[in-house]
Structure 1
Amino acid sequence: MPPSAPSTADSHDMIEVRGARENNLADVSVDIPKRRLTVFTGVSGSGKSSLVFGTIAAESRRLINETYSAFLQSFMPSLSRPDVDSLRNLTPAIVVDQERMGVNSRSTVGTATDAYAMLRIVFSRLGTPHIGGPGAFSFNLAEGMCPTCEGLGRVSDLDVSAMVDVERSLNDGAILVPNFAVDSWYWQTIVGSGLFDPDVKLQDYTPEQWQDFLHKPATKIKMGSNNWTYEGLAVKVRRLYLSKDRESMQPHIRAFVDRAVAFTTCGDCDGSRLNAAARSVRVAGRTIVECAAMQISDLAEFLHGLDDPAVAPLVGNLRETVDSLVEIGLGHLSLDRESGTLSGGEAQRVKMVRHLGSSLSDVTYAFDEPTVGLHPHDIARMNDLLLRLREKGNTVLVVEHKPETIAIADHVVDLGPGAGTAGGRICYAGDVAGLRRADTRTGRHLDHRVALRERVRRPTGHLPVRGADLHNLRDVDVDLPLGVLTVVTGVAGSGKSSLIHGSLSGRAGVIVVDQSAIRGSRRSNPATWTGLLDPIRTAFAKANGVKAALFSANSEGACPTCKGIGLVYTDLAMMAGVASVCEDCEGRRYTAEVLTYRLRGRNISEVLAMSVTEAREFFPTGTARAVLDRLTDVGLGYLGLGQPLTTLSGGERQRLKLATHLAGDAATYVLDEPTTGLHLADVDQLLALLDRLVDAGNTVIVIEHHQAVMAHADWIVDLGPGAGHDGGRVVFTGTPADLVAHGATLTARHLRGYVNR
């Protein structure tokens, strides 16, 4: 049973927010009950995240940082105080978001949840032969790692042809590696070594010179009165670039590494990362490598068979962690799965399991759409875990759109009424029953249901898929209809993405619009990425009789201090980099001269500060208006034209990509969970957009869990019946009406309940 409701007489049972103005929050004041589950609702851009993450969680973290010594604080990023008059009765906040869990090759599901650490202890105590303590089974410690691949499970081979042009000399620019251009410091260390004639082509080097040029280990060389270190080009490239996480590299370095490096499974450990001794130990007939590679649902069964009293408490904790992973819909993963390969939703659920096992209580947990990527069957299990966190005495704050999660809330805070400047206000605060009666967009749509189509469209042909066997797919054959809206569904891990992305990506005429990060620098924004900035620059240039290049923050008009970024980044060797607003341009990105030029009373910085909706009024016709209309069509009216792309969520990135493709020729569009981040009221707008795409002669294939999208489809392909090796089969193909009337799958059961509610 949930705890009794907090007494209003005791103000300490409330987090009191007064005068919050972060981003678009309009002087918000609200009381949030502690040790309860509060769901924050509202359309995209209404201010939910600004209140939960930008105000409450941010101030909690800032105050915790201030408790550390000045010495420790000097190694931590400086956090500014949120724009709020007062916050009272905060507890320590833990943000459980959808950010990827980093791309460190040494981080796995097992290490991220501590399940592998517990498994190592079990093997050190029960395993035969006995080889040592838990460290002997760690691929991150010298005593356990494979010496060949150093615990990575793979080895890298450098493609020399991508590093050098052997038909050139050093003076002619033979080295093709970034930062090794003629006269650069790295180039000078090679030429200054005296080992090579800089005018001789590399193809004319002696075998000894070639070996020294590529593979000579770090060696002290005396040049005149100076000593410096020379190392072969391949040695230096490995040290400089291959030892770093790929996502932390600058784009041009990443592109070089992708060209020049091939990773292959380590032949000595067969990718297991461990040395021969660790691989030889068995518990109940299994090695630790086999346990880590098992589907987690199978590992749970294996652990329930271990009953040795010597490790009973430890195995009990390990079982609880593994059972929680299964319960939350991650049973199809394995402990050796690299963290960086998880989707945003999977990463959030892995973090959640870690906190479920925590001994801490009276903590504030803040979740960002924890149902992302979850089938309705899995949402019920996610809800159970949210309630378990609350029942441990914690305050649980959830930003969410799904009615199934809103329904379990003790308290709801609805923000709006619109997005951007039209939002940022409290429209309702109270229980779920009161929300249903409230005249807000969320209240009106909470029980809204999309009906099945009366008449489905007829396909114009079929896209055949034959023998699909990627990951867990079981030699799948399926015909995907052309000229209609097809929804591919099934529980998380059933094989949806493997089928569609694995079979359709790269086919002629297929446009895959996913949620992956958009390639670009931190100066990229919706205006630059969609091409919208071009007609805007042209309009400014024509109105002022000057060059269009002046109105590009990447060109002549850029503030010279911040190079047109608006922020000055200070990269610190021993801590996270710090970004501060440029003092010269005050964050406006342009020179003072450029800001004197105006278009209908606005300068370029003011125009880029507009939302898409505001800009549509400012540009009523022409190319700019056409781009802005497409952004509005995909539900991004609240987005700022100059907002950095790095601040966009996965769902926003996907809709931005879709907007750029809408002006193209007829095609087959593949969308991956396009309802991510969409309010209930905006789902209807998305469905209308999908209809327009199909009616214009396109084929639309959507990987989706949202029942509204399933109900609206012409055709459904359902995978399952379960996840991992329990899935990978097509369990239904047909119309939504057929699925509701005759289907026996998990999807059928939930869709039937949705349309008949």
Structure 2
Amino acid sequence: MNIKIKNAYEKNLRNIDLDIPRNKFTVITGLSGSGKTTLLKDTLYLESQRQYLEAMNYQGTPKPKVDQIQNLSPAILIDQENRNDNPRSTLGTQTDLYTDLRMIFEKLHQRRCPNCQEIISASNAKEETEKIDGEYNVYMYCPHCHYRMEKLTRSHFSFNTTAGACPTCKGMGKTLVIKDSLYQKDQTILNGGIATWPKGYAEYQFKSYAALLKYLEISVPEDIPLKKFTSEQLDLLKYGIYSSEITKEQKEKLPTKVAEGKYEGIEPKIWQKIAEEKDIPKNLKPFIKEDTCVDCHGEKLNALSRLVTVCNQRLPEITKGDLNHVLNWVYEINENEQLKSFVEDYLLDIETKIKRISKLGLVYLSLDRQYSTLSGGEMQRIKLAAVLDSQMTELINAY
């Protein structure tokens, strides 16, 4: 029995009739633009989904431009599209493996009591929930000295929450730094001293900068290169009204208009621009570099969250190791029946998913790998891993 397609005319297809054998690998090849994707994705896959959903009384899926397709089964689409370019998205977050890890750390983490300095385990500590200002807060008591402290929950182990993220890099693991090359120190401000300031804009900014200096009774460095600026003049050029060179008393009386000296500085304006656009503007990219965060050293979590352990391993250590490393850690927890009883479901989910991914030759990956850095083939195999152990049969797989 074949899948029978009658008169497919979606997009660039021209009245195609086709029989596709079931339970066999079928490869469709052809020139670019010949309709391969349209046939597989926009016709076969879409009609399969439509028929499946309508059989369960879910209406509304549009019918592709085809007279009829017979003998279809539910379909799975695995493609190289839908890349997640969010820098916060990792292999761990994309597969929900990181969620499992956060749950395990919530229930099993060990830490030092801030009062008596004894090692305590969340699994052995008495808990208490208290409602404060409409929100529920979870506390735990040290079994040694009975000191009450806030319990670390799953939110404390997420680098995407304020409770868990490193406050310096906001959970990115990296900080942006402005390169010295932004400042052409052999040039004056009006003659290209600031690499990203075109002439007209430089004139506008210089007037505001000069007005601020005059207000502060500091000499204006006209017609001299940046390398001859005093440290005071240079700091005010970079940071404007946010400069540490301005005293508290002076700040209280600063001008309120740009023309009068409300000069905001080069670097605060750059950070404001990046925050507004949620990206580095194209003209600024040559002058911005990423550095590993000096506080969390790239581990993304705050000091307490990244230091607690489960089976003598910290969460960042687990996510930086390859998938075999994660699996061995899971086996270690499984050997302890008491610990296993608290997190058995999460351990099973991690083991199942990693074994699926490993079957496809991706065991070398780490859970902190930024998802957007995976190749198209790696992404396809990650998607395929999700259906490898499915108990459903006769699925149509569209690649």
TM-score by length of 1: 0.38
Distance 1:100 1:263, change over 3 A: farther
Q: What's the counterpart of residue 392 of structure 1?
A: 392
On the 8 A contact 1:99/1:347 being kept in 2, the answer is no
> 1:536-561: per-residue Cα shift (whole Å, max 9, x none)?
xxxxxxxxxxxxxxxxxxxxxxxxxx
Q: What's the counterpart of residue 186 of structure 2?
A: 167
1:276 is displaced (CA, Å) by 1.5
Distance 1:295 1:86 in 2: 49
Distance 1:326 1:120 in 2: 22
Distance 2:74 2:234 in 1: 58
Q: What's the counterpart of residue 536 of structure 1?
A: none
Corresponding residue pairs, total: 326
3-state DSSP class of the match of 2:237?
helix
Residue 168 (structure 2) aligned to one of 122, 126, 148: 148
Distance 1:275 1:22, change over 3 A: same
3-state DSSP class of the match of 1:152?
coil
3-state DSSP class of the match of 1:146?
coil
Distance 1:120 1:93 in 2: 33
Q: What's the counterpart of residue 304 of structure 2?
A: 277
Distance 1:15 1:245 in 2: 48
3-state DSSP class of the match of 2:291?
strand
Structure 2 counterpart of 1:84, one-letter code: K
Residue 159 (structure 2) aligned to one of 134, 139, 142: 139
1:264 aligns to 2:291 (yes or no): yes
Structure 2 counterpart of 1:98, one-letter code: Q
3-state DSSP class of the match of 2:190?
coil
Residues 56-71 of structure 1 correspond to what in structure 2 (within 5 A)?
56=44
Distance 1:61 1:272, change over 3 A: farther
Q: What's the counterpart of residue 662 of structure 1?
A: none
Q: What RMSD, in angstroms, separates the aligned Cα atoms of the two structures?
A: 4.0
> 1:689-742: per-residue Cα shift (whole Å, max 9, x none)?
xxxxxxxxxxxxxxxxxxxxxxxxxxxxxxxxxxxxxxxxxxxxxxxxxxxxxx
Structure 2 counterpart of 1:48, one-letter code: K
1:115 aligns to 2:103 (yes or no): no
Distance 1:95 1:148, change over 3 A: same
Q: What's the counterpart of residue 48 of structure 1?
A: 36
Moved more, 325-334 or 38-47: 38-47
Distance 1:349 1:56 in 2: 21
Residue 303 (structure 1) aligned to one of 327, 330, 354: 330
Distance 2:187 2:165 in 1: 41
Structure 1 counterpart of 2:268, one-letter code: V
On the 8 A contact 1:37/1:395 being kept in 2, the answer is no
Distance 1:345 1:244 in 2: 31
Residues 231-270 of structure 1 correspond to what in structure 2 (within 5 A)?
231-241=264-274, 252-253=282-283, 256-257=284-285, 259-270=286-297
1:240 is displaced (CA, Å) by 2.9
Q: What's the counterpart of residue 97 of structure 1?
A: 79
1:183 aligns to 2:200 (yes or no): yes
Distance 2:367 2:277 in 1: 23
3-state DSSP class of the match of 2:360?
helix
Distance 1:397 1:121 in 2: 33
Q: What's the counterpart of residue 29 of structure 1?
A: 17
Distance 1:190 1:51 in 2: 60
Distance 1:213 1:47, change over 3 A: same
Residue 368 (structure 2) aligned to one of 323, 336, 345: 336
1:92 is displaced (CA, Å) by 9.1
Structure 2 counterpart of 1:164, one-letter code: Y
Residue 212 (structure 1) aligned to one of 236, 243, 260: 236
On the 8 A contact 1:20/1:51 being kept in 2, the answer is no
1:294 is displaced (CA, Å) by 1.6
On the 8 A contact 1:16/1:88 being kept in 2, the answer is yes
Distance 2:294 2:373 in 1: 22
On the 8 A contact 2:307/2:314 being kept in 1, the answer is yes
1:281 is displaced (CA, Å) by 1.3
Distance 1:221 1:392 in 2: 71
Distance 1:298 1:48 in 2: 40
Distance 1:276 1:56, change over 3 A: same
The higher-RCO structure (CA 8 Å, 6+ apart) is: 2
1:395 is displaced (CA, Å) by 4.0
Q: What's the counterpart of residue 222 of structure 1?
A: 256
Structure 1 counterpart of 2:343, one-letter code: V
Distance 2:178 2:37 in 1: 44
Distance 2:73 2:240 in 1: 56
1:314 is displaced (CA, Å) by 2.0
3-state DSSP class of the match of 1:262?
strand
On the 8 A contact 1:16/1:87 being kept in 2, the answer is yes
Structure 2 counterpart of 1:222, one-letter code: T
> 1:225-262: per-residue Cα shift (whole Å, max 9, x none)?
x999753222332343488787xx77x53xx52x4233
Unaligned runs of 5+ in 2: 52-61, 112-121, 123-150, 214-219, 243-250, 335-339
| Matched-pair identity in % | 26
Distance 1:332 1:217, change over 3 A: farther
> 1:88-134: per-residue Cα shift (whole Å, max 9, x none)?
79999774322483443322111111101110110001111244111
Distance 1:205 1:55 in 2: 67
Distance 1:40 1:48, change over 3 A: farther
Residues 323-722 of structure 1 correspond to what in structure 2 (within 5 A)?
323-353=355-385, 355-356=386-387, 385=388, 388-389=389-390, 391-392=391-392, 395-399=395-399
Q: What's the counterpart of residue 19 of structure 1?
A: 8
1:340 is displaced (CA, Å) by 2.5
1:267 is displaced (CA, Å) by 3.0
Unaligned runs of 5+ in 1: 9-13, 64-80, 357-384, 400-757
Distance 2:271 2:375 in 1: 28
On the 8 A contact 2:50/2:63 being kept in 1, the answer is no
1:49 is displaced (CA, Å) by 1.8
Structure 1 counterpart of 2:212, one-letter code: L
Structure 2 counterpart of 1:53, one-letter code: K
Distance 1:91 1:198 in 2: 76
TM-score by length of 2: 0.67
Distance 1:396 1:301, change over 3 A: farther
Distance 1:271 1:244, change over 3 A: farther
Distance 1:189 1:107 in 2: 38
Distance 1:343 1:20, change over 3 A: same
Distance 1:209 1:164 in 2: 14
Structure 2 counterpart of 1:213, one-letter code: L
Distance 1:52 1:314, change over 3 A: same
On the 8 A contact 1:112/1:350 being kept in 2, the answer is no
Distance 1:51 1:172, change over 3 A: same
Distance 2:69 2:207 in 1: 63
1:39 aligns to 2:56 (yes or no): no
Distance 1:232 1:59 in 2: 58
> 1:445-501: per-residue Cα shift (whole Å, max 9, x none)?
xxxxxxxxxxxxxxxxxxxxxxxxxxxxxxxxxxxxxxxxxxxxxxxxxxxxxxxxx
Distance 1:17 1:38, change over 3 A: farther
Q: What's the counterpart of residue 322 of structure 1?
A: 354
Distance 2:68 2:234 in 1: 66
